[in-house]
Chain A
Amino acid sequence: MEPAWVALGLSLKVALWATAIDLLLGVAAGYALARGRFPGRELVDSLLLLPMVLPPTVLGYYLLIVIGRRGWLGAWLERSFGINLIFTWQGAVIAAAIVAFPFVCKSARAAFENVDMQYEQAARVLGLSSVAVFFRITLPLAWRGILAGVLLAFARALGEFGATLMVAGSIPGKTQTLSIAVYEAVQAGQDDLANGLVLLTSVTCVAVLLLAGRLAPSRIPGRS
């Protein structure tokens, strides 16, 4: 079962990094979409939701085009910094982050739109800067909705398969996450390993859900 634990550790590492990136980018994008007034807002919204709709393999292919050794970003990274993302766990993080991004972005946008602007106006009149209003009013009131999206994103990142396989491959101990390890074990006829991996995955998911229930703030901010 040694490889299973390695795969689990890798899955958690990749999913946590991907979720952390999505939290920052998703909240920023969700806020811009909810409060910003700029032309093409709905088009941007649709584009940001694409990863939810496109098959992960298609996303993986796009990623290869962009960050692959001959991709326009990948070639530049390699030339300037000697960085190569393909077949690395960092590549897997990028794939998982992109696939899970819409969950955070969409729920953050809805959560921000649900915050009554009168609270923000009241805070401004009381002398707060826009940044202070965001951190003291908008974010706390939207937090529950954002957290729900973050948990979904984490779950999605944990189970990510297609795009990760295309970008990061399946290198045991390096890029072979749980979901990929399950596939490999079944293909190789290693039923015992597959059983163990599947059980481990299920237990991990239940544990994450239980933890999420604990972390969620008990107090629901009411609306007067």
Chain B
Amino acid sequence: MTAAKWEVSVYKSLASGGHRFELDVAFSSNATRLVLFGPSGAGKSLTLKAMAGLLRPDRGRVALAGDALFDSQAGIDVPARDRHLGYLFQEYALFPHLTVRQNVAFGLDKGLRNPRRRVASAPVERWLETLELAALGDRYPDELSGGQRQRTALARTLAAEPRALLLDEPFAALDAPLRVKLRDELRELQARLALPMLLITHDEADIEAFADEVVYLDAGLRCDGPPSTHRPEDDMKTSARNQLSGTVSAVKTGAVNDEIEIALPGGQRIVSVVTHESAASLGLVVGAAAFALVKASSVVVATDLGTVRVSARNQLSGTVSRIQPGTVNTEVVIDIGGGASVAAIVTRESAVSLGLAAGALATALFKASSVIVGVPR
């Protein structure tokens, strides 16, 4: 396969919750492995969706090796299903009602019925073999570890024989040691398949591992009004020790509650659950400035998660910057990067048994439901 030529220029005006946003991104490259790098809220995911045909730009052009997938002037808009692109979603989007084998076989038959549980197909078995999933074929996605999920998603994507692979923060959902391992695996696989690949990330380590060329994106997504340098927490008083400001990077709408994801300047994310009503009245939409309040007593500290899997959606890793032992409780402050830190109150006993000391690696864990979301005035 010859070098892919990526040609992307998309403009879209998005309105939600009374705010208006503009996605305005343009780049072109001949690199086989292209990395789109930028902070959360820069419009990277929206750009990828526009390339895949999941988001229709107001105007612009998307072309692969000179083959137009979208061109507003020429009136071209190839439907997503005919673009033959592989798309690896950030949380993998494995179909929860299908086994690993059915997931991998999914794109091979485009009819009205899902593949059978006992589907016997040579390419499916080959992909299961290639990605070390052969023993897991009958499992359901919720029975897999993070790494296994990613491999299943890759197998599902590659089995459909895409002409290029789009990866949305493929390692963000994994913990640090696994991230290193899977990065190596993906790099090796890409080299073997010689498949053009575009990866979006806010992690510089991904650039080092993958980039033949990097496109920097910092303000692809613009909000109306000048960006505020004013710290929202300065305006208010609360009993919550942790006040973390960032930008809303994703909103998942449910029947009653919305899930709000806030990207922090350091690149880590906070997930919180708020009611539909408050999300609407606060104007919590992608790109909006927001801050998260978390009580120090709600934060659990872990030093080595290893193979332990926990239900807490928020896992902010960093280094211990300060330890303040009291008579019963100890206050632990973890520097999570980007100038932000999280304070946690743990018992003195656990602080000692965990061996917490300044400079130690630690992760702050808290439930999405214990986060209160605010917006600057």
Contacts and interface: CB of A to CB of B under 8 A. Distances in A.
B222 interface: no
B96 A223 contact: yes
Contacts of B112: 131-132, 135-136
Nearest to A109: B255
Contacts of A196: none
A223 B254 CA distance: 13
Given A118-B89, A125-B80, A222 B140 contact: yes
A127 B160 contact: yes
Contact of B255 (A110, A128, A221): A110
Interface string B104-132: 00110011111000000000000000000
Interface in A59-118: 110, 113-114, 116, 118
A122 B87 contact: yes
Contact of A116 (B54, B79, B252): B252
Interface string A137-149: 1001100000000
B86 to A, nearest CB: 8
A118 to B, nearest CB: 4
Given A122-B95, A222-B142, A127 B114 contact: no
Nearest to B166: A125
A125 B84 CA distance: 7
Dominant SS at the B interface? loop
B93 A121 contact: yes
B91 A119 contact: no
A218 interface: no
Given A129-B110, A132-B110, A136-B113, A122 B140 contact: no
Contacts of A124: 53-54, 79-81
Nearest to A140: B97
Dominant SS at the A interface? helix
B156 interface: yes
Nearest to A132: B112
Contacts of A110: 255
A139 B54 CA distance: 20
Contact of B91 (A127, A132, A219, A224): A224
A119 B93 contact: yes
Interface residues of B, number: 38
A27 to B, nearest CB: 16
Contacts of B91: 118, 224
Nearest to B149: A224
A136 B54 CA distance: 18
A181 to B, nearest CB: 40
B294 to A, nearest CB: 24
B92 interface: yes
Given A114-B255, A126-B107, A224 B92 contact: yes
A223 B49 CA distance: 22
Contact of B113 (A135, A141, A222): A135
B81 A128 contact: yes
Contacts of B97: 140-141, 219, 221
A132 B111 contact: yes
B277 to A, nearest CB: 15
B225 to A, nearest CB: 27
B54 A121 contact: yes
A113 B54 contact: no
A219 B96 CA distance: 10
A123 interface: yes
A167 B80 CA distance: 50
B85 interface: yes
B95 A119 contact: yes
Contacts of B50: none
Interface in B142-195: 142, 149, 156-157, 160
Interface of B: 49, 52-54, 79-87, 89, 91-97, 106-107, 110-114, 140-142, 149, 156-157, 160, 252, 254-255
Given A116-B93, A224-B96, 12 more contacts: A121-B87, A122-B87, A122-B95, A125-B52, A127-B84, A128-B107, A129-B110, A136-B112, A141-B96, A221-B96, A224-B92, A224-B142
10 closest A-B pairs by CB:
A126-B107, A222-B142, A221-B97, A122-B93, A124-B80, A125-B87, A118-B93, A221-B96, A127-B81, A222-B96
